[in-house]
Amino acid sequence: MPSVKLHLMIRRSVSKITVMRILKAGAFYFAIVFGAGFVLGSIRILWAVPRFGARIAELMETPFMFVVTILAARWIVRRLALPPTMSIRLGMGFLALGLMLVAEFAFVLRLRGLSISQYLATRDPVSGSVYYLMLAVFAIMPLVVGRR
């Protein structure tokens, strides 16, 4: 019976290590993509919106954010040597998505002086839909980049 206890102890410690890797990967993934989005968003608001309008400016930003998302997910998955397990990769992505939504609602909306309902009501139907799609892509990208 000692081997059963030892097996359970090892399994718990592996589980804790796995959870810590998911937390680290998700937080790092969020930080990279949010940082890039903050920089690109500043450029969009200060330069592109006055020239092209909000919808076009947001749509122009999307391909850049898509590339950042792919590169960040791929780099973190490789750097942290995350196994190609669906639960681990989606754990990373959905943790990062949760952090992104918290940052969006707590930080960005406060900066703009909007409530969540105002924010959702003022989203452009076209660029807003693309943004929501990109959030979904952001969440699943760690799984996608791991496929061979």
Tens of pLDDT, residue by residue over 85-106, are 888 999 999 999 999 999 988 8
Instruction: Name the average pLDDT for the chain.
Output: 87
Query: What b/e sequence results for 58-93 when a residue is b if at least 16 CB atoms lie within 10 Å of its CB, and e otherwise?
Result: bbbbbeebeebbeebbeebbeeeebeeeeebbbbbb
HSE toward the beta carbon, residue 26, CA cutoff 13 A: 22
Tokens of 6: 């030892």
What's residue 111's pLDDT?
Answer: 77
Quick one: pLDDT band at residue 142, thresholds 50, 70, 90?
Answer: very high
What's residue 118's pLDDT?
Answer: 82
Residue 14 has pLDDT above 70, yes or no: no
The sign of the CA dihedral 113, 134, 65, 86 is: positive
Residue 56 has pLDDT above 90, yes or no: yes
Helix (H) or strand (E) holding 133, with range, is helix 125-144
Residue 67 has pLDDT above 80, yes or no: yes
Can you tell me the mean pLDDT for 115-119?
A: 81
Residue 13 has pLDDT above 90, yes or no: no
CA nearest 84: which of 24, 32, 23, 148?
148
